[in-house]
Structure 1
Amino acid sequence: MYQPLSIFVGLRYLRAKRRNHFISFISLISMGGIALGVTVLITVLSVMNGFEKELRERILGMISHATIEGYERRLSDWESLLEEVRRHPDVVGAAPYVEQETLIKGRGTAGAQVRGIDPELEPQVSEIDELMRHDGFQALAPGEWRVMLGAGLAARLGVREGDPVTIFAPEIRATPAGVVPQVRRFEVAGIFEAGVQQYDTALAIVHYRDAQRLFRLDEQVSGVRLKFDDMMRSRAIAWELSDQLGGVHRVRDWTQQHANFFRAVRTEKTVMFIILSLIIAVAAFNIISTLVMVVTDKQADIAILKTMGLGPRKIMGIFVVQGSLIGIIGTLLGIVGGVALALNVEQIVAWLEQFLSTDFLSAEVYYISDLPSELRWGDVVKFGGVALSLSLLSTIYPAWRAARTEPVEALRHE
């Protein structure tokens, strides 16, 4: 006798014999459905991970990993603060900044965020310099009154490099002619494109010394921008810095500054996971129908096994084994297909674009013109576990129904 008997009989029932070719075909359909569901789930979520990573890196290239601000958005002792935070082992860069929302006027007028930076220190905390079209930050010098604009903002203002623009300060000053706003004329020294609409359409960069004079901050700055050696630990490092500084300054990391955006991305991924999991659920329901047909087809066999002394638990085990094997094989095929597709989706899409002579993500329309993919093995394990769990649950009812078979009733018409 083969041991264990339940596994041996369950394996035999997977193969087509005489009358049950159709049942085996349904089993193959169930395997294919689970494999397709797992493949699609891994591929789609990997692409969403890739887009999230791409956007995160582009946003962090503009905002730095964390900022230190005064509670009134002004820092007087920022130079000593720079030296203090640089002593932290996880801080790899620090730079002052001045930031203010205001109006800019060119041929048109638009609201913008004016950011004053130190051209020598800014490359330590951001990648804006790499996005400049020409000389980068070298074009900014104190007292030269030059500004760099995002590509979208420059288009809204109707200006190009070398054109003048007027920046309005939110403060007003009293003159013999009355109260007038504080304004200053700047020359457009460069245009950058970050690929993030929030910054391309609303960010203007000047030298922090010019920003101090324009916004009447004297020697103060709005805060200090920081870069860490591990951006995924930004929250913990920010708390450590807050304790190190005695809590007299507000330390915020990138997850707090863009909490709503990344929360929306996580919500979208969760919803997509639930929707795509329904494909696996449908395939799991096919396992139920397959096993129910097998139980009906094998009534006589089950009755004979029970009369030979096989207990209800082992009868259930036969069909649990059969359904589980369908789920295991389908899940493994899906994992192999999903991993292969996720790792090569960029090349596949590029080949399809070349073959069809079209651009799925045109660079003229989309900020991200390729299809990034980031495979996370934790997701693969999770998706495989979901598929196996649904497959196992699908075997319970048919197996229970088989275990309740009455030998007398099953053999009456044989």
Structure 2
Amino acid sequence: MFKPLSIFIGLRYTAAKRSNHFISFISMASMLGLMLGVAALIVVLSVMNGFDRELKQRILGMVPHATISGYGKPLDNWSELIEQLESNPEVIAAAPFVQAQGMLTSRGVVRGAMVNGINPEIEKNVSILGNHIESGSLDALNEQRFGIVLGEILARYLGAKIGDKVTLVLPEASVSVAGVVPRLKRFTVVGIFSVGAELDANLAYIHMRDAAKIKRIGEGVDGIRLKFDDLFTAPTKVRAIAAELDGYYYASDWTRTHGNLFQAIQLEKRMIGLLLFLIVLVAAFNIVSTLVMVVTDKKADVAILRTLGATPGRIMRIFMVQGTVIGILGTCLGTLLGVLLALNIAGIIAWVEETFAIQFLDPNVYFISTFPSDLQWNDVGIITSTALIISFLATIYPAWRAAKTDPAEALRYE
């Protein structure tokens, strides 16, 4: 089978057993370094994507994608407003809410909390709360019994279990015959939820009618929570929707409450990716050093090829082929290893934890106890193509040096 001379000789140089074992070792080390760098980059970015996905599903499954509320006054026409909002094709679901900041007390312990008044039936359409009830039931919330659903960490702080009483204290004073006293109400714990995030420590849910009575807003609600198919388009969509409504409404979205958290994750992902990319860059420099030593070792061969009529361009292509083969092998092996590890990282970590009796993620500290992994093929494509391009660029200078070899000077002492 016909092969171009530069490819044929370049492949022979790559596969040949060298008398200089140090060069062979450096060549193998550069290929392994590239392989490990690519694999590490794929695995770490997949784990970062997994954490990002878990946070989106858990935190943004609990907090509103967007809200529409009145300017300093409750919404009395919320039923008609929900029908109007749900008629918009961009809105998946809408639910009313009443919100209050207060303190919960039980057994002498006081904790601050954000208390959300909800309609349990409608709330299931816009929130994952019903899927994360650890004990009790969300349906137990009703306006007759003044029930409350607590986050798991909040309930643990208060020492509250199902059936226990907790007292909600609002930062508003009421005037009575006894003087000025804070507004408070006793609730019965009817459920405990756990989404495995900081929300478990500061969120509580009651029926919206109970919340409206405590806040004394009659039949109105504080606002309407919206759910979109794509949460990243919520900021622009909710403002456009609010502008189309009759009257004046205030639009807000998740970026104002939890945007900093996701920006921090994205920044962390970029910085870790940059640091690991340096590993690939170091491996590429190893290819440069390998080829420089090969060129020095093969000066006599290059000189003979030049005397036989090989052009400088052909000599350059010979050594570029050799370096590119090292880069391709290292990148392909690294991609294969990285993909396999990324797809099985949870099982591997579980086996390590069980074998060596260690725990990487304590569920009492972190919001998840397993390593999530979300392998995104566009990341794999970018990493692989970048590694190949860097490997190819790393071959240019050594190959150019080889092409500049003077035959007479190289053969003088042979």
Q: Report if aligned partners of 2:90, 2:228 keep a CA contact under 8 Å in 1.
A: yes
* Structure 2 letter corresponding to 1:196: A
| Residue 35 of structure 2 corresponds to residue 25 of structure 1 | no
Measure how far apart 1:195 and its partner are.
0.7
Measure how far apart 1:84 and its partner are.
0.8
The range that moved more, 215-224 or 240-249, is 240-249
Which residue in 1 is equivalent to 2:49? 49
* Helix, strand or coil at the partner of 1:133: strand
Q: Report if aligned partners of 2:135, 2:193 keep a CA contact under 8 Å in 1.
A: no
Which residue in 1 is equivalent to 2:149? 148
* Helix, strand or coil at the partner of 1:258: helix
Which residue in 1 is equivalent to 2:224? 224
Measure how far apart 1:365 and its partner are.
4.6
Identity of paired residues, percent?
50
Cα distance change of structure 1 residues 162 and 8 upon mapping to structure 2, 3 Å threshold: same
* Helix, strand or coil at the partner of 1:225: strand
Distance 2:293 2:104 in 1: 73
Measure how far apart 1:255 and its partner are.
4.1
* Structure 1 letter corresponding to 2:166: V
* Helix, strand or coil at the partner of 1:399: helix
User: Runs of 5+ in structure 2 lacking a partner?
Assistant: none
| Residue 264 of structure 2 corresponds to residue 264 of structure 1 | yes
Cα distance change of structure 1 residues 9 and 248 upon mapping to structure 2, 3 Å threshold: farther
* Helix, strand or coil at the partner of 2:80: helix
Which residue in 1 is equivalent to 2:131? 130
Which residue in 1 is equivalent to 2:187? 186
Equivalent residues in 2 for 1:304-315, closer than 5 Å: 304-315=304-315
Measure how far apart 1:16 and its partner are.
2.5
* Helix, strand or coil at the partner of 2:120: coil
Cα distance change of structure 1 residues 325 and 250 upon mapping to structure 2, 3 Å threshold: farther
Measure how far apart 1:209 and its partner are.
0.8
Equivalent residues in 2 for 1:97-246, closer than 5 Å: 97-106=97-106, 107-197=108-198, 199-231=199-231, 233-235=233-235, 237-245=237-245
Distance 1:173 1:49 in 2: 50
The range that moved more, 117-126 or 356-365, is 356-365
Deviation string, structure 1 residues 257-283 (Cα, Å, up to 9, x no partner): 311000010111111111111221221
* Helix, strand or coil at the partner of 2:343: helix
Distance 2:34 2:236 in 1: 40
Deviation string, structure 1 residues 175-203 (Cα, Å, up to 9, x no partner): 34433222222222222222112x11111
| Residue 7 of structure 2 corresponds to residue 7 of structure 1 | yes
* Structure 2 letter corresponding to 1:171: E
* Helix, strand or coil at the partner of 1:186: strand
* Helix, strand or coil at the partner of 1:328: helix
The range that moved more, 288-297 or 220-229, is 220-229
Q: Report if aligned partners of 1:26, 1:286 keep a CA contact under 8 Å in 2.
A: yes
* Structure 2 letter corresponding to 1:226: L
Cα distance change of structure 1 residues 250 and 315 upon mapping to structure 2, 3 Å threshold: farther
| Residue 286 of structure 2 corresponds to residue 286 of structure 1 | yes
Which residue in 2 is equivalent to 1:353? 353
Q: Report if aligned partners of 2:64, 2:226 keep a CA contact under 8 Å in 1.
A: yes
Cα distance change of structure 1 residues 215 and 289 upon mapping to structure 2, 3 Å threshold: same
Cα distance change of structure 1 residues 18 and 130 upon mapping to structure 2, 3 Å threshold: closer
Measure how far apart 1:115 and its partner are.
0.6
Cα distance change of structure 1 residues 342 and 11 upon mapping to structure 2, 3 Å threshold: same
Distance 2:289 2:174 in 1: 81
> Runs of 4+ in structure 1 displaced over 6 angstroms?
none
Q: Report if aligned partners of 1:68, 1:224 keep a CA contact under 8 Å in 2.
A: yes
Measure how far apart 1:358 and its partner are.
4.3
* Structure 2 letter corresponding to 1:28: M
* Helix, strand or coil at the partner of 2:161: coil
Deviation string, structure 1 residues 206-246 (Cα, Å, up to 9, x no partner): 11111111112222212111223444554454355345436
Count residues with an aligned counterpart.
413
* Structure 2 letter corresponding to 1:19: S
Distance 2:352 2:175 in 1: 65
Distance 1:307 1:82 in 2: 86
Q: Report if aligned partners of 2:47, 2:371 keep a CA contact under 8 Å in 1.
A: yes
Distance 1:173 1:362 in 2: 44
Distance 1:192 1:56 in 2: 18
Distance 1:262 1:247 in 2: 33
The range that moved more, 150-159 or 377-386, is 150-159
User: Runs of 5+ in structure 1 lacking a partner?
Assistant: none
Q: Report if aligned partners of 2:295, 2:402 keep a CA contact under 8 Å in 1.
A: yes
Cα distance change of structure 1 residues 246 and 194 upon mapping to structure 2, 3 Å threshold: same
Cα distance change of structure 1 residues 208 and 323 upon mapping to structure 2, 3 Å threshold: same
Q: TM-score, normalised by structure 1?
A: 0.92
Distance 1:318 1:247 in 2: 74
Which residue in 2 is equivalent to 1:370? 370
The range that moved more, 209-218 or 224-233, is 224-233
Tell me how large the CA RMSD over aligned residues is: 2.3
| Residue 403 of structure 2 corresponds to residue 403 of structure 1 | yes
* Structure 1 letter corresponding to 2:167: T
Measure how far apart 1:48 and its partner are.
1.5
Distance 1:73 1:110 in 2: 27
Distance 1:218 1:18 in 2: 88
Distance 1:6 1:195 in 2: 59
Q: Report if aligned partners of 2:147, 2:189 keep a CA contact under 8 Å in 1.
A: yes
Q: Report if aligned partners of 2:138, 2:190 keep a CA contact under 8 Å in 1.
A: no
Measure how far apart 1:310 and its partner are.
2.8
Q: Report if aligned partners of 1:52, 1:265 keep a CA contact under 8 Å in 2.
A: yes
